[in-house]
């Protein structure tokens, strides 16, 4: 676990690489549709890096699915900090994947839920009319073509809006707790940033794993985090969670606003610190990666970063928790497709309560 920081740095770029492989395909198929002169869809696009002001609602050709893909009519999407990082091209190192001089792809958005409209000839698991969800580049649009290996069935007890809230935040929480934290029943888990997109999943998934959970948020979110199952909630405007007496086995950090010495103080001797998020615009993620790398060499505790990886198996695992009533996505605001710029502006303020959803 201690050498994970190297692979995680590469994974950050690898994740974008996965997306950009998909983009090339979508753009290619889009050109085919232009040639045929039919099948127009609405999508949010941009031609330059910048603020949400550079986004426009455009008409593009509907993608044609290849033999292994399903064409999905998107009903809802959700917004992640990833979207505004890619929109702005920050931190700058991501431009190695997203385009050095300008964005390689005009499209944006990754989380979506919708209905299968058509399938390629080799698709076996899904058929037209099936309700599905997953992570695919270009989710702020009416349609996407997506490999069936990246799709999961929509949980039967959720709406499309709730389902679109799941992918990035859901499997980030799951992979951090299960794979990095290796959380076992009875362990004490602290989630810094418990009320946002990732945090609201993390609290519920940690509880589903049998952990004793503490969450950190501001006053207005204390009730929410408590209602998600947290056994203890720290209101960061009133108390300092790093002065806690009883140490934690796992610290899940979405915020990166405390020093590593402060975190060490509240970790058990064999405890695990997982850096999930930090302020990327101020170089926070790279700084924290460096600190994690150094600390891991000198202390018994583990310090690790993580970069979530989209995969169908984890969506299916989350589906099971949802259908068992252990996890329910939390939705803050909903915006129509043409108001994606406002949705991103709101998320960028850093105080969303759960997920911000786009209805399509």
Ligand X SMILES: NC(=O)c1ccc[n+]([C@@H]2O[C@H](COP(=O)([O-])OP(=O)(O)OC[C@H]3O[C@@H](n4cnc5c(N)ncnc54)[C@H](OP(=O)(O)O)[C@@H]3O)[C@@H](O)[C@H]2O)c1
Least distance in angstroms from the C-beta of 143 to ligand X: 25
- The count of chain residues that interact with ligand X, using the rule CB under 6 A, is 30
Is residue 66 part of the contact set for ligand X (CB under 6 A)? Answer: no
Query: In terms of C-beta distances under 8 Å and separation of at least 24 residues, what long-range contacts does 259-265 make, across chains too?
Result: 260/291, 260/292, 260/295, 260/303, 264/295, 264/299, 264/301
Residue 129 half-sphere exposure toward CB, CA atoms < 13 A: 0
Is residue 311 part of the contact set for ligand X (CB under 6 A)? Answer: no
What would the two tokens of residue 62 be? 């509907």
Is residue 226 part of the contact set for ligand X (CB under 6 A)? Answer: no
CA-nearest of 210, 195, 205 to 314 is: 205
Selected range binding ligand X among 27-35, 90-98, 164-172, 333-341, rule: CB under 6 A: 164-172
Least distance in angstroms from the C-beta of 224 to ligand X: 9
Beta bridge partners of 72: 116, 144
Is residue 334 part of the contact set for ligand X (CB under 6 A)? Answer: no
Is residue 228 part of the contact set for ligand X (CB under 6 A)? Answer: no
Is residue 353 part of the contact set for ligand X (CB under 6 A)? Answer: yes
What would the two tokens of residue 190 be? 């602290």
Least distance in angstroms from the C-beta of 140 to ligand X: 16
Among 81, 106, 181, 341, binds ligand X (CB under 6 A): 81
d(CA 102, CA 161): 31
Instruction: Give yes or no for a contact between 346 and 356, defined as CB atoms under 8 angstroms apart.
Output: yes
Among 94, 307, 344, 360, binds ligand X (CB under 6 A): 307
Start-to-end C-alpha separation, the chain: 41
CB-based contacts of 101: which residues, under 8 Å, 6+ apart?
none
Is residue 93 part of the contact set for ligand X (CB under 6 A)? Answer: no
Cβ neighbour number for residue 126 with a 10 Å cutoff: 19
Is residue 196 part of the contact set for ligand X (CB under 6 A)? Answer: yes
Least distance in angstroms from the C-beta of 145 to ligand X: 24
Q: Judged by CB, which is closer to ligand X: 119, or 150? A: 150
Least distance in angstroms from the C-beta of 197 to ligand X: 3
Q: What is the CA radius of gyration of the chain?
A: 20
Instruction: Give yes or no for a contact between 2 and 297, defined as CB atoms under 8 angstroms apart.
Output: yes
Least distance in angstroms from the C-beta of 242 to ligand X: 12
Applying CB under 6 A, which residues contact ligand X?
80-81, 168-169, 172, 192-193, 195-199, 216-218, 221, 236, 254-255, 257, 276-277, 306-308, 347, 350-353
């Amino acid at each position: 676990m201690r050498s994970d920081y190297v692979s995680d740095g590469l994974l950050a770029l690898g994740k974008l690489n996965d997306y950009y492989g998909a983009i090339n395909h979508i753009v290619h198929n889009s050109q085919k549709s232009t040639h045929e002169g039919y099948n127009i869809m609405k999508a949010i696009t941009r031609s330059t890096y910048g603020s949400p002001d550079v986004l426009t609602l455009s008409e593009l050709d509907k993608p044609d699915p290849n033999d292994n893909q399903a064409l999905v009519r998107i009903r809802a999407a959700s917004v992640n900090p990833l979207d505004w990082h890619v929109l702005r091209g920050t931190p700058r190192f991501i431009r190695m994947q997203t385009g050095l001089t300008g964005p390689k792809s005009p499209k944006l958005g990754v989380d979506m839920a919708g209905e299968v409209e058509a399938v390629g000839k080799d698709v076996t698991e899904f058929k037209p009319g099936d309700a599905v969800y997953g992570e695919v580049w270009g989710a702020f649009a009416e349609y996407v073509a997506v490999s069936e290996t990246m799709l999961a069935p929509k949980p039967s007890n959720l709406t499309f809006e709730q389902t679109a809230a799941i992918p990035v935040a859901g499997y980030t929480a799951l992979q951090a707790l299960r794979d990095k934290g290796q959380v076992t029943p009875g362990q004490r888990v602290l989630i810094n940033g418990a009320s946002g997109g990732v945090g609201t999943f993390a609290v519920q998934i940690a509880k589903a794993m049998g952990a004793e959970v503490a969450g950190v948020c501001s006053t207005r979110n204390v009730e929410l985090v408590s209602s998600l199952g947290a056994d203890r909630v720290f209101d960061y405007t009133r108390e300092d969670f790093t002065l806690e007496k009883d140490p934690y086995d796992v610290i899940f950090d979405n915020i990166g606003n405390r020093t590593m010495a402060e975190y060490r103080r509240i970790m058990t001797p064999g405890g695990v610190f997982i850096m999930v998020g930090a302020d990327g615009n101020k170089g926070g993620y790279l700084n924290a990666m460096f600190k994690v790398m150094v600390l891991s060499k000198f202390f018994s505790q583990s310090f690790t970063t993580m970069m979530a990886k989209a995969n169908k198996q984890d969506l299916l695992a989350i589906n099971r928790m949802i259908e068992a009533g252990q996890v329910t996505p939390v939705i803050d605001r909903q915006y129509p497709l043409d108001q994606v710029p406002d949705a991103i502006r709101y998320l960028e303020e850093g105080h969303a309560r759960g997920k911000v959803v786009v209805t399509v």
